[in-house]
Structure 1
Amino acid sequence: MSTATPLPKDYPLAPQGGMPLLILWAILLAAMGLPLAFLAGDKGVAALASPRAWVGPLLVSLTGVAVSLAYLRKRITLDAGGLVVRSTFYTRSVAIGSLQLERARIVDLGEHRALKPALKTNGYSLPGFRSGHYRMGDGSKAFCLITDPSRVLVLPLRDGAQLLLSPEQPRALLDALKQRAGDGAA
């Protein structure tokens, strides 16, 4: 057993499928443009010169920037204290001892529908991306950071909840967690 404190190690996320931010901004641009188009159609283009006409689009733009910046905040780190998952507006820290690693598995959510996030209780989602707190198809609670639903590391917790993560190499993270748990037990 090593007495040195292990250095934190980041585990890259699986590549994101699709274009979630492009879809988000397409929706936001429509939300900004359509009211302006209706205003210009009803009252003429001169109505667009009013600063009041631009308050809504400005607020939508600022919200879009905040949501986009949050989307970029994604990280899985294994450090001396355990596993730390940072995702959008959320951070979840889990001690190695609170994981049931003997029950951990790597799954395709398309095949394991009971593990698929079904109800967002406090989360963030875009097409192909899930972050935050969810209820699964089987009713259990989970904290999710899913970028690729075809390879998700499911980590059951001793309190009955789960972590669902999409590291680029799920097996490498699981092996590192098991090694760290073994070092702590020795």
Structure 2
Amino acid sequence: MMSNPVYRTLKKALILSPLAIPIGIVLSYVILAILLGNPNDVFTLMALSIICTAGISLIIWVPIWYGLGYLVVMLANMILKAAGVDVAAMFGKKPNTATNALQTTPDSLDQNAIDTSNLTKDQVALINYIRKAQQKGLSNDTITQNLGKNGWNTDSISQAFRLVEQG
């Protein structure tokens, strides 16, 4: 339920990281083969740079491989999203809990007479969180502190509290 874009990007990067390094190795091999003109020279260059430095050159190679692979994975992800393909469903992954909560929000919000057409997904998520926390007996100050610690700004929190009180 975090609205922090850095958090979402890091979470997505950690999920995609197992693919990034192998793709980066292949891509760097192809690029170096084009630049050097001989695939055997590329293998020799990579192998000798790793072996002769006792693996210290991996400090340079791994970030390069990860960066190249990550760019390819993100580019492929953007192209698939633009084409309308649900990448998460393609790999059999369930949508995250925030998405599940948002899918059920219109029912819970309609019961309490709040017009959801003018609300953003973040506002709906905040309202649902506040209601659930209040049902569990948390005070408004505690709820505000918890949301603030998780990256929500005070204006959004205040607005969500006003909407909860109205509905």
Higher gyration radius (CA): 2
Greater strand share, structure number: 1
- TM-score (norm. length: structure 2): 0.31
- TM-score (norm. length: structure 1): 0.28
